[in-house]
Amino acid sequence: MLGDTSFAIHPGKEQQSGSKTYRDIGKLHNYQEKDNTYMFSCENGTIAIQFYTESIVRVIMNQKNPIDLQGSKAVIAKPKKVTIEVTDDDERILLSTINVQLVITKEPFRITFKDSQGREIVSEGKYGMAYRENGEVIACKQMSENDHFYGFGEKSGHLDKRGEKLEMWNTDVYAPHNPETNALYESIPFFMTLREGKAHGIFFDNTFRTFFDMKTSEEYYSFSAEGGQLDYYVMVGPHPKTVLEQYTYLTGRMPLPPKWSLGYHQSRYSYETETEVRELARNFMEKDIPIDVIHLDIHYMNGYRVFTFDKERFPNPEKLIADLKEMGIRVVPIVDPGVKKDAEYPIYQEGVQEDHFCKYMEGEIYYGEVWPGISAFPDFTEEEVRKWWGEKHAFYTSMGIEGIWNDMNEPAVFNETKTMDVSVMHRNDGNPTTHRELHNVYGLLMGKATYEGMKDNLHGKRPFLLTRAGYAGVQRYGSVWTGDNRSFWEHLQMSLPMVMNLGLSGVAFTGPDVGGFAHDTNAELLTRWTQVGAFTPFFRNHSAIGFRYQEPWQFGEKYETIMKKYIQLRYIWMPQLYSLFYQASKQGLPVMRPLLMEYPNDAKTYNLNDQFMIGDNVIMAPILSPSVTNRVVYLPKGDWIEYSTGDSFEGEKVHLVHAELEDLPIFVRKGSAIMHGEWNSNQDKETKVLTMKVYTSNEDGNYQFTFYDDDGETFAYENGEYLKLDLDIQSVADSINVVILDTEGNYRPPYQEIHIETVGSSKRILINGKESNIIKL
Ligand code: MIG
Q: Is 410 a catalytic residue?
A: yes
Which phi and psi (to 5°) does residue 730 adopt? -105, 120
Q: Is 429 a catalytic residue?
A: no
Give the ligand 1 atom nearest the CA of 336: 2
Radius of gyration of the CA atoms of the chain, in A: 26
72-99, pLDDT tens digit by residue?
Answer: 999 999 999 999 999 999 999 999 999 9
Q: Is the pLDDT of residue 215 over 50?
A: yes
Query: Percent of the chain, pLDDT > 70?
Result: 97
In one-letter notation, the amino acid at residue 472 is A
CA 373 to chain CA centroid, nearest Å: 32
The pLDDT of residue 17 is 40
Give the mean pLDDT of the chain: 96
Residue 337 and residue 396: Cα distance in Å, rounded? 15
Residues forming CATH 2.60.40.1180 domain(s) in the chain: 673-776
Residue 388 and residue 380: Cα distance in Å, rounded? 10
Distance 407 CA to ligand 1 centre (A): 7
Question: In Å, how far are 431, 612, 669 from 618, measured between CA atoms?
Answer: 48, 8, 6
Residue 272 and residue 286: Cα distance in Å, rounded? 21
Contacts of residue 405, Cβ cutoff 8 Å, sequence gap at least 6: 295, 332, 333, 334, 335, 465, 466, 467
Q: Is the pLDDT of residue 57 over 60?
A: yes
Residue 660 and residue 637: Cα distance in Å, rounded? 26
In which band, very low, low, confident or very high, does the pLDDT at 182 lie, cut at 50, 70 and 90?
confident
Look at ligand 1, atom 12, and give the residue with the nearest C-alpha. 269
In the three-class reduction of DSSP (H, G, I as helix; E, B as strand; rest coil), residue 31 is classed as: strand
Identified catalytic residue from 484, 551, 560, 709:
484
In which band, very low, low, confident or very high, does the pLDDT at 15 lie, cut at 50, 70 and 90?
very low
Residue 198 and residue 190: Cα distance in Å, rounded? 17
Q: Is the pLDDT of residue 62 over 50?
A: yes
In one-letter notation, the amino acid at residue 344 is E
Contacts of residue 286, Cβ cutoff 8 Å, sequence gap at least 6: none
Contacts of residue 308, Cβ cutoff 8 Å, sequence gap at least 6: 301, 302
Q: Is the pLDDT of residue 430 over 60?
A: yes
Q: 6-251 maps to which CATH number?
A: 2.60.40.1760
Domain 673-776 superfamily per CATH: Golgi alpha-mannosidase II (2.60.40.1180)
- For residues 623 and 631, is the Cβ–Cβ distance under 8 A? yes
Helix (H) or strand (E) holding 17: helix 11-17
Identified catalytic residue from 382, 402, 407, 642:
407
Distance 86 CA to ligand 1 centre (A): 54
Distance 301 CA to ligand 1 centre (A): 14
Residues forming CATH 3.20.20.80 domain(s) in the chain: 263-337+382-592
In the three-class reduction of DSSP (H, G, I as helix; E, B as strand; rest coil), residue 469 is classed as: coil
In which band, very low, low, confident or very high, does the pLDDT at 65 lie, cut at 50, 70 and 90?
confident
pTM > 0.95: yes or no: yes
Q: Is the pLDDT of residue 370 over 70?
A: yes
In which band, very low, low, confident or very high, does the pLDDT at 2 lie, cut at 50, 70 and 90?
very low
Mutate to test the pocket of ligand 1, among 177, 265, 297 (most ligand atoms within 8 A of CB): 297
- For residues 290 and 264, is the Cβ–Cβ distance under 8 A? yes
Residues in the chain: 777
Ranges of beta strands (E only) in 610-700 are: 612-614, 618-620, 630-635, 639-642, 648-650, 653-658, 666-669, 673-676, 690-695
Give the ligand 1 atom nearest the CA of 268: 5
Q: Is 205 a catalytic residue?
A: no
234-267, pLDDT tens digit by residue?
Answer: 999 999 999 999 999 999 999 999 999 999 999 9
Contacts of residue 161, Cβ cutoff 8 Å, sequence gap at least 6: 149, 150, 151, 152, 155, 191, 212, 214, 501
Ramachandran region of residue 279, left (φ > 0), alpha (ψ -120 to 50) or beta? alpha
Look at ligand 1, atom 11, and give the residue with the nearest C-alpha. 484
Cis peptide before 497 (omega within 30 of 0): no
Identified catalytic residue from 213, 310, 410, 437:
410
Distance 654 CA to ligand 1 centre (A): 41
522-572, pLDDT tens digit by residue?
Answer: 999 999 999 999 999 999 999 999 999 999 999 999 999 999 999 999 999
The pLDDT of residue 20 is 67
DSSP 8-state symbol, 67: P
In terms of Cα–Cα distance, which of 718, 635, 638, 708 is closest to 672?
638
The pLDDT of residue 13 is 41
Distance 298 CA to ligand 1 centre (A): 8
The pLDDT of residue 7 is 55
Residue 757 and residue 490: Cα distance in Å, rounded? 39
- For residues 730 and 699, is the Cβ–Cβ distance under 8 A? no
Topology (CATH) of 263-337+382-592? TIM Barrel (3.20.20)
Q: Is the pLDDT of residue 4 over 90?
A: no
In which band, very low, low, confident or very high, does the pLDDT at 217 lie, cut at 50, 70 and 90?
very high
DSSP 8-state symbol, 606: T
In one-letter notation, the amino acid at residue 243 is V
Residues forming CATH 2.60.40.1760 domain(s) in the chain: 6-251
Mutate to test the pocket of ligand 1, among 408, 414, 467, 487 (most ligand atoms within 8 A of CB): 408
- For residues 470 and 605, is the Cβ–Cβ distance under 8 A? no
Query: Percent of the chain, pLDDT > 90?
Result: 96
The pLDDT of residue 676 is 98
Contacts of residue 228, Cβ cutoff 8 Å, sequence gap at least 6: 135, 137, 206, 207, 208, 437
Q: Is the pLDDT of residue 770 over 70?
A: yes
In which band, very low, low, confident or very high, does the pLDDT at 64 lie, cut at 50, 70 and 90?
confident
In which band, very low, low, confident or very high, does the pLDDT at 180 lie, cut at 50, 70 and 90?
confident
Distance 278 CA to ligand 1 centre (A): 22
The pLDDT of residue 591 is 98
Give the ligand 1 atom nearest the CA of 297: 2
Ligand 1: list residues with CB < 6 Å: 269, 297-298, 334, 407-408, 468, 483-484, 517, 542
Give the ligand 1 atom nearest the CA of 407: 10
Give the ligand 1 atom nearest the CA of 298: 2
Q: Could you give the maximum distance between any two Cα atoms of the chain, in Å?
A: 80
In the three-class reduction of DSSP (H, G, I as helix; E, B as strand; rest coil), residue 494 is classed as: helix
The pLDDT of residue 12 is 40
- For residues 393 and 399, is the Cβ–Cβ distance under 8 A? no
The pLDDT of residue 8 is 53
- The arithmetic mean of pLDDT across residues 380-407, rounded, is 98
In terms of Cα–Cα distance, which of 160, 237, 233, 162 is closest to 198?
237
Distance 170 CA to ligand 1 centre (A): 15
